[in-house]
Homo-oligomer: A and B are copies of this chain.
């Protein structure tokens, strides 16, 4: 079946967002990334900065388990943490965007949310640590010297976000149809590979 929805999950610093943008431009597809935050805010009734805080990165303080432990486990309202409200609204928003077709959606566990649609190609972009550190400093412009710790922290939080949302393991091939190492294939190269996969997919 023709894949007219592409989800791109990516490691922080891998350049996955640039890959996704290039693919959308080349295919003439809509591109959904940070504007999802605004849509989720509208859907959930939460403030945009609250949604942004819970968007894709989980600290243990945001987890359902933490909220439950704080509420003594007795309050459903307490248990339904901001994180869960954001996840529920994200699910609705992403399913609605997918209905329109011809789009590239970045992150937000969209591979999981859209797992039952046969018109989706799910892609994961990752890279080795040296490539990521270089991009974080020279492309994203971050100046923190402890770049290794920054990568480690972001990986940990995104992993926790993904597993709490999906029950799946972050970075495991079976979550995706195609996984690409951007440190070997390059940013434009990864975009080429995804276009090729769209042409190839059955």
Q: Which residues of A are in contact with B by a Cβ distance under 8 Å?
A: 121, 124, 126, 171-174, 176-181, 184-186, 189, 192-193, 196-197, 200-202
Task: From known contacts A171-B172, A172-B171, infer whether A184 and B193 are also in contact, taking CB-CB under 8 Å.
Answer: no
Q: Mostly helix, strand, loop or mixed at chain A's interface?
A: mixed
- Copies of this chain: 2
Q: Select A202's contact among B174, B184, B193, B201, beta carbons within 8 Å.
A: B184
A177 touching B173, Cβ below 8 Å: no
Q: What residues on B are CB-neighbors of A180 within 8 Å?
A: 177-178
Q: List 28 A-B contacts (CB under 8 A).
A: A121-B184, A124-B173, A124-B179, A126-B173, A171-B173, A171-B174, A172-B172, A173-B173, A173-B176, A173-B179, A177-B180, A177-B181, A178-B179, A178-B181, A178-B185, A179-B179, A184-B202, A185-B197, A185-B200, A185-B201, A186-B200, A186-B201, A189-B197, A189-B200, A189-B202, A192-B196, A193-B193, A193-B196
